[in-house]
Structure 1
Amino acid sequence: MESRVLSRATAFSSSLPNLRRLPRDSPNASFLSVKPIGAVADGGNLIWGRQLRPSLCSPALRKDTPLRPCLAAASSPAEGSDSAGEAKVAPVGFFNKYPALVTGFFFFMWYFLNVIFNILNKKIYNYFPYPYFVSVIHLFVGVVYCLVSWAVGLPKRAPMDSNLLKVLIPVAVCHALGHVTSNVSFAAVAVSFTHTIKALEPFFNAAASQFILGQSIPFTLWLSLAPVVLGVSMASLTELSFNWTGFISAMISNISFTYRSIYSKKAMTDMDSTNLYAYISIIALIVCIPPAIIFEGPALMKGGFSDAITKVGTVKFVSDLFWVGMFYHLYNQLATNTLERVAPLTHAVGNVLKRVFVIGFSIIVFGNKISTQTGIGTCIAIAGVAIYSLIKARLEEEKRQAKAA
């Protein structure tokens, strides 16, 4: 018979004469020992800094296994309860009760912030064409946000040492170079065209994996990249806003982010994604400041700032720079947090849909005129990215299942 912990032990024991309390020094007294919730020996899980009890429906618990009483069982049983002495299960939080709804909200906010960032970023370039300086502002606002978050303990700052710093520097340098060249492209050509060129990023990733990392890329994966190359080529030939500065900058951005992925694999660490992205942002900011001073410093001092203030006013100019930096940091942070919550296949679909959203909204907001061939090429490129992402996600899932088996 299973043991119960009751607050009215005397009354209960008198009504059931066959049951008696065990003395503390009895060998069976350990049966009633109470362990802290989430103890390591009980397999407690640590989720978002809160320890949770192992589920009572765990396969490890058989019907003939006695249940250890939890701390809540020491209180008086609720009236009308069918089993007065049973431990009450703690209420399930919203995040655990509706995981699909929470993940959907994360996706929505990721897309929303990304679209707002791209639109506001392009509007700034229309009256302040200094992408190096704007790139520094993006990172600077994000770094300030991270420092404030650390100061209030949300999240708690992870420690940094020299070994981890050496590992993160190559990742941050590639991140900085890719970020700056992306902004140079955004300033030079239409947002939709830059994102169309950046659809080639999977091609560079596959090439780097094959020829740099020595990984074998299946033929089907290479074949799925053919529509991407074809679509980008078609869109580039008839793009009305085409210029070589925008095209080459977007291509350099693709290469930079490819190397960032390579170094990121070598920089696997136990640090959480929020702290990791904060440290990368700090290093990237330090890297971006010298080029901004060298390439745009003299022009900014001569009339860059004054011209922008004359066109839109000081308040709007400063607020635009602040908000574009906030949107940049928040959408990147939300992207990381969102993709951690989903499977590789959902990750792949999410990335493709994000690019579709950005291209579509940028065309609507800015009224960019595109030729029929550019539109068809863009659709072909995005479809190719979708096919590639789905195939790659399935291959990764098969590898994961094989390792688990």
Structure 2
Amino acid sequence: MESRVLTGATAIRGLPLLRKPAAMFTANCSFPALKPTGAFKDGGSLMWGKQLRPAILLEASPASAVSPLSKRESLPPCLAAASSQAEGNDSAGPIGFFEKYPALVTGFFFFMWYLLNVIFNILNKKIYNYFPYPYFVSVIHLFVGVAYCLVSWTVGLPKRAPIDSNLLKLLIPVAVCHALGHVTSNVSFAAVAVSFTHTIKALEPFFNAAASQFILGQQIPITLWLSLAPVVLGVSMASLTELSFNWTGFISAMISNISFTYRSIYSKKAMTDMDSTNLYAYISIIALFVCIPPAIIFEGPQLLKHGFSDAIAKVGLTKFITDLFWVGMFYHLYNQLATNTLERVAPLTHAVGNVLKRVFVIGFSILAFGNKISLQTGIGTSIAIAGVAMYSFIKAKMEEEKRQMKAA
């Protein structure tokens, strides 16, 4: 996705630079009424001075059909002087913090993404230790996120993007796969150690490559397939000696990998100019409605009979409610911030970020819960992560070469 930083921008390509006349010229010159050459419609939302996946449509106007004039030859003297001063201000004007330190800002985004992700995983697992109902907790994750989106739309941060029936049809398969992958991930988190679930989820690139090759018909280079061999080997080694291993956790994590793979496939078919913040909000709303029926069917009777009462007896009503609220908030914020962060960087940085994120989550979860792992599990996890890093680097390099070829 392409991102554009609008903070401090002075002109949009194809539009003349419109500025207020300098005070020194207003006394001697009379300015005709200026009509805008276009109006913005259905624009993307602004977040931290940045526009995500903009869909800016310019209304045609008679002025846009007029050939551009030379500033020095065609403008009146006072207008030409004012324009010249405006250009001088552009070159010497103050530079905003975001433009002056872009690497620092991007680093802060990465830090917050990792921090929120680690907090979510630790809090999520702590809830399962006294409230083992992953279907219901999955609904809470999405419910809190949807509530957050609705409040954000109400105050106009961001402005809600319109949606029609055609776009809804495209987003439903994406949201269904998102819901299934989310629920099965939580079933795995509840059944086994967080570190083991993330080790299994390291296989996701393997499923993505297989789907691209055998479903989409895309030719996957042999180098990519070879880079996935350590991932499969490492996950196999870790699974054989994982102390928390059980089939529910393992199979659920594998289903999650498949679900997110199909989500990627449907996402490519549902490419849209809607900004990522609004897009993720709509997907969350649809996914919430998908997750509610299974939670009622599989866990509803148990929750009403003893699930809620047992949890309240163990930690108290206040802590139970606040834990559910904050785990849902952290889930939504880390996903949204991940999208915003990865849109700021190149594909190779994207790859590094995703790999390091998994390393951070595995490491901090082991420290937080004191999970004991065997030497073979540790070696297998390291090999799997190294394989994911190799795969990500090769794929990112290929995408960058394709982009440069298209640009040329």
User: When the two structures are superposed, what TM-score results if normalisation uses the length of structure 1?
Assistant: 0.83
1:330 maps to which of 330, 333, 345: 333
How far has the Cα of 1:96 moved from its partner? 2.0
Are 2:218 and 1:215 equivalent residues in the alignment? yes
Matches within 5 A, 1:41-56: 48=46
Aligned to 2:7: none
Q: Sort the Cα spacing of 1:180 and 1:51 in 2 relative to 1 into closer, same or farther, 3 A.
A: closer
1:314 maps to which of 314, 317, 334: 317
Cα distance in 1 for partners of 2:132, 2:185 equals 14
Q: Sort the Cα spacing of 1:96 and 1:40 in 2 relative to 1 into closer, same or farther, 3 A.
A: farther
How far has the Cα of 1:328 moved from its partner? 0.0
Q: Deviations over 1:304-323 (max 9, x none)?
A: 00000000000000000000
Aligned to 2:89: 88
Point out where structure 1 has 5 or more consecutive residues left out of the alignment. 13-20, 25-31, 53-63, 76-82
Aligned to 1:162: 165
2:344 maps to which of 336, 341, 360: 341
Q: Sort the Cα spacing of 1:124 and 1:238 in 2 relative to 1 into closer, same or farther, 3 A.
A: same
1:384 maps to which of 378, 382, 387: 387
Coordinate RMSD, CA, aligned: 3.1
Cα distance in 1 for partners of 2:156, 2:284 equals 18
How far has the Cα of 1:98 moved from its partner? 1.6
How many equivalent residue pairs? 362
Q: Deviations over 1:78-104 (max 9, x none)?
A: xxxxx9997423433222222111111
Cα distance in 2 for partners of 1:365, 1:10 equals 66
Aligned to 2:353: 350
Q: Deviations over 1:358-378 (max 9, x none)?
A: 000000010000000000000
Secondary structure of the corresponding residue to residue 202 of structure 2: helix
Letter in 1 for 2:179: A
Query: Contact (CA 8 Å) 2:45, 2:275: kept in 1 or not?
Result: no
2:135 maps to which of 127, 132, 136: 132
How far has the Cα of 1:65 moved from its partner? 7.1
Query: Contact (CA 8 Å) 1:113, 1:327: kept in 2 or not?
Result: yes
Q: Sort the Cα spacing of 1:35 and 1:355 in 2 relative to 1 into closer, same or farther, 3 A.
A: farther
Query: Contact (CA 8 Å) 1:7, 1:74: kept in 2 or not?
Result: no
Q: Sort the Cα spacing of 1:349 and 1:51 in 2 relative to 1 into closer, same or farther, 3 A.
A: closer
Letter in 1 for 2:227: S
1:200 maps to which of 200, 203, 219: 203
Matches within 5 A, 1:221-232: 221-232=224-235
Letter in 2 for 1:88: N
Cα distance in 2 for partners of 1:109, 1:191 equals 20
Aligned to 2:116: 113
How far has the Cα of 1:178 moved from its partner? 0.1
Cα distance in 2 for partners of 1:121, 1:46 equals 32
Are 2:264 and 1:261 equivalent residues in the alignment? yes
Aligned to 1:184: 187
Q: Percent identity?
A: 83
How far has the Cα of 1:7 moved from its partner? 5.2
Matches within 5 A, 1:16-35: none
Aligned to 1:80: none
Cα distance in 1 for partners of 2:287, 2:156 equals 23
Cα distance in 2 for partners of 1:46, 1:333 equals 15
Secondary structure of the corresponding residue to residue 88 of structure 1: helix
How far has the Cα of 1:10 moved from its partner? 12
Query: Contact (CA 8 Å) 2:45, 2:159: kept in 1 or not?
Result: no
Aligned to 1:27: none
Cα distance in 2 for partners of 1:238, 1:306 equals 36
Aligned to 2:126: 123
